[in-house]
Amino acid sequence: MKPVDGVCLFAGYLNYDITVRLNSDFDVGKRINSVIKTSVGGMAANAASIAASLGSNAVLFSSIGDDEVGQFLKFKLEKYKVVTSCLDFQKGHRSPHCIIQVESDGQRTIISEKIDFDYSNIINFLSERPDNIKIIYLDGYRFFDCDPILEISRENRIPVVIDLDGYEDNNIDSEKLSYFDSIILNKSLLRQLTGCNSLEKSKDYFSRLFSSKVICTCAEDGVELLRNKNFVKIPTTRIKVVDTTGAGDTFAGAYVHGVANGLPTVENIKYSSKMASKSIIYNGSLGLLEAKH
C-alpha cells in the first residue's frame, strides 16, 4: 500500500507496558520465574505505530509524564516513525504504566493506570490545518468527551474512527455514535451492549447508524461488518496464538491507514485482519514491529 498524503491523527492512551508471561502450571503464592518485557503500549500509541510503519503520517496526541519513562516512550515511537511533537509531557508527573499478564494460551489480562487527557492540543492542530487532515482515530476511552473533535470533523468532513475497546459502560449514546465514520468493537463489547454475539443479530440496535461502518473483530472467527443494514462476514486465517496483546490495535492502525489510502471497506478489513493475525505470533503489543528492527 502506498504512503498517505496528508496527516492521520491518533488520540488516546500511551503508556509503558510491563508484560509477564505465565505457564498454566504455576502455583499461587510461590515465586514465578518468567521473562518480563517492557515496551510502548496504549491503544492510540499502538495503532499510530502500526499506521506509521505502513506509511501514514501518524501524529499522536496523548499525555505522559516528563520522566525517563516518558523519554523512552518518545524514543520508541519515533523509531516506529510516529510524529511525537504533539505529546503532552506533564511536568512533575509519572508516565502511566500498564501491567499485562499473558496466559499460556495467549490470552491476556490488562491492568492500566488512567491518564489525564487534554484536548486543547488536538483542537488547535485541527483548527490550524483542517484541509491537511485525512482521518482521526480515537480510542474507546475518548468517547465520553470527544464532542469538540466531532464538531470540527463534521464541519471539515474529516472521517473519524473510534475503537470502542476500553469503553466501560453497558449503554452507549447511539446518536453520538452515528457521527463516526467507522466504529470498531470486539465480540465481548458487542455482547455487553446488545446481548447478541453477532452483528447480524444486532441490526436493530445499530439501525440509526445509516452512514457508519460497524466492524466487529471476532478473533479466529474473522471480522463482521454492518453497513447500511447490510451484513458481511469476512473470514480470517487461523494462526497459532502466542500473544493476543495489541492485535485489535494492529487491526485498527492498519484499517486507519487503509481508509486514508481510499481502500474499499471490505478489502481494507481483509488487509487489516491479515495484519492483526500476523501480530499474534509475536510477544507484546508491537512485537510485529520490533521484529522488523
Between residues 103 and 12, which one has the greater pLDDT?
12
| End-to-end CA, the chain | 20
Residue 105 vs residues 23, 141, 281: alpha-carbon distances, Å: 9, 27, 12
Residue 258 clears pLDDT 80, i.e. is over it: yes
Residue 251: is its pLDDT beyond 90?
yes
**CA gap 210, 175 in Å, rounded:** 11
The pTM assigned to this predicted structure is 0.90
Chain segment 66-122, per-residue pLDDT in tens: 999 999 999 999 999 999 999 999 999 999 999 988 777 667 788 888 888 888 899
Mark residue 139 as left, alpha or beta (left: phi above 0; alpha: psi -120 to 50; beta: remaining).
Answer: beta
Q: What structural domains and CATH numbers belong to the chain?
A: 43-63+117-288 (3.40.1190.20)
Q: What is the mean predicted confidence (pLDDT) over 190-205?
A: 90
pLDDT given for residue 281 in this prediction = 66
- Res 282: pLDDT: 62
Tell me the residue type at 219.
Answer: A
Does residue 151 sit in helix, strand or coil?
Answer: helix
Q: Return the higher-pLDDT residue of 233 and 37.
A: 233
Phi and psi of 175, rounded to 5°?
-65, -45
Tell me the CA distances in angstroms from 155 to 124, 133, 149, 179, one per residue in order: 15, 13, 10, 12
- Mean pLDDT confidence for 240-252: 77
If you average pLDDT over every residue of the chain, what do you get? 87
